Amino acid sequence: MSPKVGMGPVRREQIVRATVRCLAREGYTRLTMKKVAREAGVSQGILHYYFADKRAILVATLEAVSRDLDRRVGAAQSRTGRDPAARLRALVRACLEVAVGRPEFWVVFVEFWGEMMHDRRLREVNAEVYTRTRRLIGRLITEGVAAGRFRPVDPPRAAAVVLGLVDGISLQLTFDPKAFSLAEAARFCDDALGRYLAKETP
């Protein structure tokens, strides 16, 4: 069954968003093509036209969630000006806000990580996502070092440290929201990154 002309992007988005909701409710092991089709309000024929199997839907869903997070980060950074330190804080804050406001996004990541341990292709997709994110953070750190805002560090390694902090705090906000508030989480990260990247005083 072929879709109507021009409906492709709309249908894919519809299916991906339905998959996010299904994953948040039931997890990947209980996910079926039938459930996704029902949640998306499309026939199974339409679903199979776009995605061969639920592995393909999982990949598309991770990529869509990652793009959405990138857009949120970009929007937050656009309000900070060009200061690298402010842009880095905006990146961190945007990720933490997603953990609080859209926890299902982080559920997608967790479900994906569980499956990728047994699937080389999924590991490759995850590596692509993380490589792109480390590069983004690394560019900010490079700019901060050049501007004298950060101490001299190796940008790729420092980016991995920053990403590890963001992932760890975001996951705690997602799965243990009573442990601390968003404001407290932002302060944790600001303090940790401030200490890690601060220039040494003579």
Q: Are 11 and 46 in contact (CB under 8 A)?
A: yes
101: number of CA atoms within 13 Å, CB side?
Answer: 8
> Cα separation of 55 and 58, whole Å?
5
> Cα separation of 64 and 92, whole Å?
19
Q: Are 55 and 119 in contact (CB under 8 A)?
A: yes
Q: How far is CA 80 from CA 45, 148, 149, in A?
A: 46, 18, 15
pLDDT tens digit sequence for 13-52:
999 999 999 999 999 999 999 999 999 999 999 999 999 9
The separation between CA 132 and the C-alpha centre of its own chain, rounded to angstroms, equals 11
pLDDT tens digit sequence for 146-164:
999 999 999 999 999 999 9
pLDDT tens digit sequence for 50-109:
999 999 999 999 999 999 999 999 999 999 989 999 999 999 999 999 999 999 999 999
Q: Are 145 and 155 in contact (CB under 8 A)?
A: yes
pLDDT of residue 199: 74
Mean of the per-residue pLDDT values for the chain? 92
Kindly compute the dihedral angle of the four CA atoms of residues 111, 114, 117, 122, in this order, to the nearest 10 degrees: 0
pTM recorded for the entire structure:
0.87
